[in-house]
Amino acid sequence: MKRLLAGALLLLGTYCIAQEYSGNSGLVILPPDHEFHFARLAYPGSGYSRWGGGQGRGAQPWLTDWPEAESFFMEGVQRLTRVQASGEGRVISLHDEELFDYPFLYAVEVGYWNLSDADAAVLREYLLRGGFLMVDDFHGTAEWADFTSSLQRVFPDRPVVELADTHEVLHVLYDLDQRIQIPGIWALMSGTTYEQDGVKPHWRGVYDDAGNLLVAINFNMDLGDAWEHSDWPEYPEPMTALAYRFGINYIIYAMTH
């Protein structure tokens, strides 16, 4: 059992009940705190986004789909599971003191991240101590090369492998036997399901020595757009539903392994 997640396991499916003394009524039962917070990784990168540049929301790739993606997705987690999930996401950098308080990190558009050796060392420690990283929304040969360049600084000795159909992360709650490409909204509206030369979707991962998944890699896909646009009639409901199931499986796996 991963050390970082031991506390999360004790909380999963239960309530944290805080009690305080009141002079008139004795013990007062306070509402439980949330056991899961969606944490978005603010990583160092190029400062450029495919959808905009300069100042503001579009300038940093890690901000893509924020905050709607996690807001809508957390509503689904609250509705479809017993995880006591916060409806508000958190933004965490690799050098925040609170980093190790969050067992699950989400990083988007990682084709633009650029981790220094110091950043990579922190992320490696986080993952080996029980953290889980889900990466999403990057496409094509060039972005894969940029992503793996930084990933190799994190784990120079751990290969990236395709997830087997039988892997537990694909069955821990939902049986995800249907693995279709989950596209970004603008690619979909242009009549395709892929971006750049990323025609084929891939579900890949990096494992620890015990065979536990440390990094879940959604390549040539955009689960964040499926979450963000779940209320758009233009975005197909089957793709949104599948994106929710994948995200929920990743969360349950991260909190129980």
pLDDT tens column, 98-145: 999 999 999 999 999 999 999 999 999 999 999 999 999 999 999 999
Residue 23 lies in a domain: no
What pLDDT, on a 0 to 100 scale, did the predictor assign at position 45?
82
Residue 64 lies in a domain: yes
Of residues 7 and 181, more confidently modeled: 181
**What number of helices (H) and strands (E) belong to the chain?**
7, 9
Q: What single DSSP character describes residue 34? A: P
Cα separations in angstroms, 41 against 3, 21, 92, 121, 160: 21, 39, 5, 15, 20
Residue 135's CATH number: 3.40.50.12140
Residue 85 lies in a domain: yes
Q: What value, to the nearest 5°, has the Cα angle with vertex 134 and ends 110 and 127?
A: 100
Residue 179 lies in a domain: yes
Residue 5 lies in a domain: no
pLDDT in tens, 17-46: 223 323 333 443 334 578 899 999 999 986
| pTM metric for this prediction | 0.85
Domain region containing 63: 35-256
Cα separations in angstroms, 247 against 16, 72, 134: 24, 12, 9
180 has a pLDDT exceeding 60: yes
What pLDDT, on a 0 to 100 scale, did the predictor assign at position 34?
80
Residue 132 lies in a domain: yes
At 87, is the pLDDT very low, low, confident or very high (cuts 50, 70, 90)?
confident
Cα separations in angstroms, 17 against 23, 69, 115, 162, 233: 19, 30, 40, 41, 41
Report the domain count for the chain: 1
What pLDDT, on a 0 to 100 scale, did the predictor assign at position 59?
64
Residues, the chain: 257
Residue 220 token pair: 């040539």
Residue 44 lies in a domain: yes
Largest Cα–Cα distance in the chain?
68
What pLDDT, on a 0 to 100 scale, did the predictor assign at position 219?
98
Number of neighbours of residue 194 by Cβ within 10 angstroms:
18
**Across 193-219, average pLDDT:** 97
- The SS3 of residue 77 is helix
Average pLDDT, the chain: 86
Distance between CA atoms of residues 229 and 68, nearest Å: 8
Distance between CA atoms of residues 169 and 114, nearest Å: 27
pLDDT in tens, 135-178: 999 999 999 999 999 999 999 999 999 999 999 999 999 999 98
Residue 197 lies in a domain: yes
Task: Note whether 245 and 223 are within 8 A (CB).
Answer: no
